[in-house]
Amino acid sequence: MLGKTIFIKLMLAALACTTVFGMGNVMAQAAATTEYTLEQALQQEQHGALSLSQALALAEKRSEALRAQDAARQAAQNQATAAGELPDPMLNLEVINIPANGPDQFSLAADFMTMRGVGISQTFARKDKREAQANVFNKNAEIAQAGKFQALSKLRTATAQAYLDRFYSQEILAVLQSQRTELELQIEAADALYRSGKAPQTDVFAARTELGLMDLRIQDTQALLDNAQAELQRWVGDAADAPLAGAVDLSQSRLSAVDLFEQLHQHPEVLALDKAESVALAEVEVKQQEKSADWTLSVMYAGRGPQFSEMLSFGASRPLFVDQDDRQDQALAAANAMAAKARAERIELHREHLAQTRRWQQTWQSNLKRINDFDRSLIPLTQQRTQAALAAYQGATGTLADVLAARRMEIDMRLEKLRIQMDTARLWAQLEYLIPSEVKP
């Protein structure tokens, strides 16, 4: 009677475990590949489960880093507009030839040479120079846009990883808790057999020790789950408390291995250095234009005493480049050197990201094969072993220990698959959001 009771409990526990895993598979198959607009995400924020696409939309809505880059781009564009205009004219006020001594000391009208003048001067910067200066700020606006792409990549990757970490931590926790239930059954069976004199007391102590170790594993997993929850809350706010809609399809990525070399030219960090090179080249053009001096024209109207005629003056000025080899040419050479530096850094960073991304892709694809092996052979084999052990126990040809050992192996195999899936999910997020979809080739 005792054996049948334990067998029924084991069957129920196995059924519950299978249900948990079945639900996990359903959630994984219902991959969150549906694209949501920001408005749809916000409408569903307070309703039902939180999907990955909704989490990403909420993270973008909350991000101050994106707003900062937008402000930087707007500032650079405004500076470009200002740089394209002529310098402001200068108002000149002067009083000259004031008597310093004698009977007319400090008089502004007694001496015919004293003049009170008002004038205006204007520097006429050449159009090519103004366009070159404006182009520097336009390129700075492009750097700010590249900075926004960097912020988008970081935000989406971190949000997706936090979402997936929480999802798989929950799955692992569910498996461990189901295994804990079976350990409690093992303790109950061992204790009953010990009391009936059919098993030693050491079996009871061994089962209780294993239960204690399982509790430690559950605590560790709960800590990981709490950390993932905190990280998700950092990106999406209070919406992180909502239940998750499910996993994503990890078998597909927007980043293709075929033309990876060309795609990584659009990597946000590489793109930022490409724009930095453009700024340096724009600075080169400015320095080239500055080798030609600008003229400043002025006009002055001067009045004297009422008995004297009024005066009108015109003037023109420009800087004299007396040492171009050591001044203007050196400034131009420095700008060219900065452009060469930016180009070299961009090429080196592209190589670094190319190697890193290839490693990510290779590990991701290898993990996908391993996951497929678990689904195709490893897990089915452990299931068959469990079924055989249950059948043998039901037919009184097997032992309870064999059943529990088979169940533990099956659960451990599922745990290993979930751990690999979690690692694969983090790699998938790195690859999927490495280059924001907003970046145009």
Question: Going along 97-183, which residue ranges are E strands?
Answer: 115-124
Strands (E), 258-308: 295-303
Residues of the chain with pLDDT under 50: 1-46
3-class DSSP assignment, residue 436: coil
**The pLDDT value given to residue 27:** 35
> Looking at residue 421, what is its pLDDT?
95
For residue 385, give both structure tokens. 């072993």
- Is residue 437 one of the residues assigned to a domain? no
- 224, 29 contact by CB (below 8 A): no
Residue 438 lies in a domain: no
CATH number at residue 68: 1.20.1600.10
| CB 402, CB 389: distance < 8 Å | yes
Query: Per the confidence metrics, is the pTM higher than 0.85?
Result: no
Instruction: Please report where in the chains the tokens 């694969």 appear, as a residue.
Output: 424
Q: Is residue 96 part of a domain?
A: yes
The whole-angstrom separation of Cα 412 and Cα 383 is 12
Distance CA 217, CA 205 (A): 19
**Domain-embedded: residue 361:** yes
Contact 262, 47 (CB under 8 A): no
In a domain, 313, yes or no: yes
Provide the domain limits for residue 416. Answer: 2-432
Number of domains making up the chain: 1
3-state secondary structure of 313: strand
Using CB atoms within 10 A of its CB, is residue 397 exposed (0-12), middle (13-18) or buried (19+)?
Answer: exposed
In this structure, is residue 403 part of a structural domain? yes
